[in-house]
Amino acid sequence: MWCSTRLSPPLRCGSARRSLHAPLLSATRIPARLFSTTVIRGQQESAKIDPVTGLKASEEKDKPFYVTSPIFYVNAAPHVGHMYTMVLVDVVKRWEQLKGRKALLVTGTDEHGMKIQQAAQLAQKDPLEFCDTGAAMFQDLAARVNCKYDTFIRTTDPKHHDAVQYFWQMLQARDLIYSDKHSGWYSVADETFYPENSVESVVDPATGQKIKVSKETGREVQWTSEVNYHFRLSSMAPKLLEFYKQNPDWIVPHSRYKEVVAAVEEGLEDLSISRTRSRLSWGIQVPNDPEQTVYVWLDALVNYLTASGYPWTPGREQALGWPADLHVIGKDIVKFHCIYWPAFLLALDLPMPKRILTHAHWTMNHKKMSKSDGNVVNPFYAIDRFGTDPMRYYMARDGGIKDDGDYSNEMILTRYRSELQRGFGNITGRVRGKKFDVEASVKAAMSGGMTGDWIFDTVDVSMVKALDKHPRDVYDRMEKLDIPGGLRGIVDLMDETNRYLQDTAPWSIDKEKNPTELLRRIYFAAEAIRICAILLQPFMPEKAKMILDNFSVDPAKRTMHHAAIAMDDAYGARIGKPPQPFPPLPE
C-alpha cells in the first residue's frame, strides 16, 4: 500500500508517541489555547485595569460582548454596503458565541436630520411614515442576510429621545456647551459643516454651473450662518491624543488610526451641535430651547448608549453590554466615530468602546457605485440569485477592510464553484460516500488508533500538523479582526484536506486487506471537515449546520472548544441520504 511502498520507514504511534504525537495531541487537547483571551482574563487578571474602558477585568467577567453596526440612514433603499456591514457584525457576534460568550448585536436606523426631512417632503409623506417604510426595508435586509440582531434601534424611539436629552444635559452641566453664531459650508447630504480649506469649486455636469463641494465626499455644500449651540471639541484634543497614544490598536486597520491622530494633531474647532428648528424641525428638540434641534450626529451616536439602557440604573451599567466591545463602521464615517464620539464620552467620563473596525467600500469595475452610472448592486436581488450563505461567504471573503472590494458576479460564481462546490462540497461528498464509514473511523481513532494502534506515514503527520495549525491561525486572525483572513484560513485547511485525499486516494484502498489504513485516512479527512464546519458557522450558519448535521455532530459539540483534532469522540453516524450543501447555481 501507499504507506509501505512510498515511505520508509512508517511511523507507529506507540513508538513515536514521545517524539511526535504526544506534543501534537497534547496541544490540540488543550482547547483553552484556542480561546485563552476569554478564559485567562478574569481568572488571572482580575486586578488589572483595562486601559480602554477603565474597568477591572473582574467587573467585565459577566458582561455580554456588545457589537454594533452603524445605524443606517433611511433616506434611500439599502445597498450592498449595508449588507456587507450587516454580515461583518453578525460574523463577529457568532464568533464570540462560538467561543462560549454571550453576545449582543445592535443595529438600526438613523431617522432624523435634513436629508430625511427633505426626502419625506419629496415623497409627499409624513416624516415618521417615511421613516417607518425605510426602517422596514433595513429590517427586511437583516432578516434576508440572516443578521441576528438583539436590538433594532430607531432614533425616533421615545427611549432614544429621552437618552439624547439626558446626554445633552450632562454635557451642559459640565459647561461643555455654549451658544454662538456659526457660519460655514454645510452639506445636507453629509449632515456636517466643512471648513474653508475642505471645500472646492467644481462644475456641476448636470447644469454646467459652478458649485462648492466637499473635497472629502464630493457632495455639494452651501454657506450657512445661524446661531446655535456648540460643543467644546477643541478643548478635548489633548485627552483624545493621550487616549490614542495609550491605545494604538483601538482603530482597525492601523492606517486609519494614523489618519485620525493626524487630523486631531492639526487642531480641532468647536463643533456645532444644533440647528434652528425653523430650518430643521425633524429631530429631537434641544432641552429647554424650543427653537433648536439636536445635531443629527450627536443624536445618532448616542444610539449605542440608548441600546445599552442609558441612562443606566446604578449597578446595571453593564447589564446590556456597555462599553461596546466593537463598533463596525464604514470608512466614510470615521471622523464621527473616532473623533466626535470618543470626545463626547471622554467629556462625561463614560467608558470607551474597546475597538472600532473601519471597513472599506465596494466598487464595481474599480469605480465607485452610483445610480447615474448604473452600477449599484441591489442586495435583495443578489440574495435571490445566489442565496444567503453564498453571499455571506463572498462578502466576508472578498470585502475590503483596508482597501475597497470590487464587486463581481463572476467572482461570486467563481468562489462558489471552486471553493464551495469543488472544495467543501466535493470533499464532504467524497468522505461521506457510501464506501466509507465515518462513524467506524471515529470509533477506531478513539479506541486506540490515535494512541498506538495506527501506523502513521509522513502524509498523515503533515495532515495532523495542518489540523493543529490552521484552526489556531483562524482564531488569531479573527481576534485581530482580520475577517477575510480568518475565512481564508478555513479555506486553507480544506485545500490541505483535498491534497491529503488526492495523495492517499482512500477510494483505491482495499478495506479487506488494509482496514486500518482506510479508517485512518477517512478519520483525518472527516476531522478536517468537522473542524472546518464548526469554524464556518459564523460565516455560513445554514450551510455549516447542514454539513455538521450530515456528519451527525452533536449540537453540543459545535463550539470553539471542539474545533481541534480528537475533541469529538462520537460522530459520523449515517442519517439517510444527505442533502447536497452546494448544489449548482442557476445561470
Kindly report, residue by residue over 420-473, the tens digit of the pLDDT.
999 999 999 999 887 899 999 999 999 988 877 788 899 999 999 999 999 999
Q: Where are the domains of the chain?
A: 2-33+427-562
User: What is the rounded distance in angstroms from the CA atom of residue 572 to the CA atom of residue 441?
Assistant: 8
Q: Give the residue from 27, 94, 148 showing the smallest Cα distance to 558.
A: 94
Q: Residue 300: what are its φ and ψ, rounded to 5°?
A: -65, -45
Q: Among 29-43, 252-266, 307-321, 478-492, where is mean pLDDT lowest?
A: 29-43
Q: What percent of the chain has pLDDT over 70?
A: 88
Q: Which pLDDT band holds residue 55 (cuts at 50, 70, 90)?
A: very low
* Comparison of pLDDT for 294 and 45, the residue scoring more: 294
Q: Is the confidence at residue 366, as pLDDT, over 80? A: yes
CA 419, 420, 426, 428 torsion: positive or negative?
positive
Q: The dihedral of CA 294, 295, 298, 299: what is its sign?
A: positive
Distance in angstroms (rounded) separating the CA atoms of residues 484 and 465: 23
- Do the beta carbons of residue 523 and residue 449 sit within 8 Å? yes
Query: For 222-327, where are the alpha helices, taking DSSP H only?
Result: 237-246, 254-265, 296-301, 303-306
Position 217 scores a pLDDT of: 74
- CB-CB contact of 100 with 64 (8 Å): no
Mean pLDDT of the chain: 87
DSSP β-bridge partners for residue 473: none
Q: How far apart are CA 170 and CA 166, in angstroms?
A: 6
pLDDT of 56 higher than 90 = no
Q: Cα–Cα distance between 411 and 400 in angstroms, integer?
A: 14
pLDDT at 187: 75
Q: How far apart are CA 164 and CA 75, in angstroms?
A: 21
Q: How confident is the model at residue 354 (pLDDT cuts 50, 70, 90)?
A: very high
pLDDT confidence band for 576 (50 / 70 / 90): confident
What Å distances lie between residue 383 and 141, 229, 413, CA to CA? 10, 45, 13
Burial class (CB in 10 A: 0-12, 13-18, 19+), 156: buried
Return the pLDDT at 9.
Answer: 32
Among 198-212, 510-524, 535-549, name the one with the lowest average pLDDT: 198-212
Question: What strands lie across the sheet with 285-286, from one edge to the other?
Answer: 274-276, 289-294, 285-286
In this prediction, residue 48 carries a pLDDT of: 54
Band of the pLDDT at 102, cuts 50, 70, 90?
very high
For residue 465, which of 24, 9, 34 has the smallest C-alpha distance? 24
Q: What is the pTM of this model?
A: 0.86
What type of residue is 569? D
Alpha-helical (H) ranges within 416-550 are 426-431, 438-446, 458-479, 483-504, 515-536, 541-550
Band of pLDDT at residue 586, cut at 50, 70 and 90 = confident
Nearest CA-CA partner of 524 in 572, 460, 571: 460
Residue 310 banded pLDDT, cuts 50, 70, 90: very high
Around Cβ 138, how many Cβ atoms within 10 Å?
24
Q: How confident is the model over 194-217, as pLDDT tens digits?
A: 777 777 887 777 677 778 887 777
Q: Is the pLDDT of residue 514 over 60?
A: yes
What is residue 21's predicted lDDT score, i.e. its pLDDT?
35
**Which residues contact residue 482 at a Cβ distance below 8 angstroms, ignoring those fewer than 6 apart?**
401
**Of 228, 236, 227, 231, whose CA–CA distance to 177 is shortest?**
231
pLDDT of the residue at 315: 82
Question: Phi and psi for 224 in degrees, rounded to 5?
Answer: -130, 140
Architecture of domain 2-33+427-562: Orthogonal Bundle (1.10)
Residue 54 confidence (pLDDT) above 70: no
- DSSP symbol at 583: P
| CA 459 to each of CA 509, 513, 518, 525: distance values in angstroms, whole numbers, following the listed order | 16, 20, 14, 12
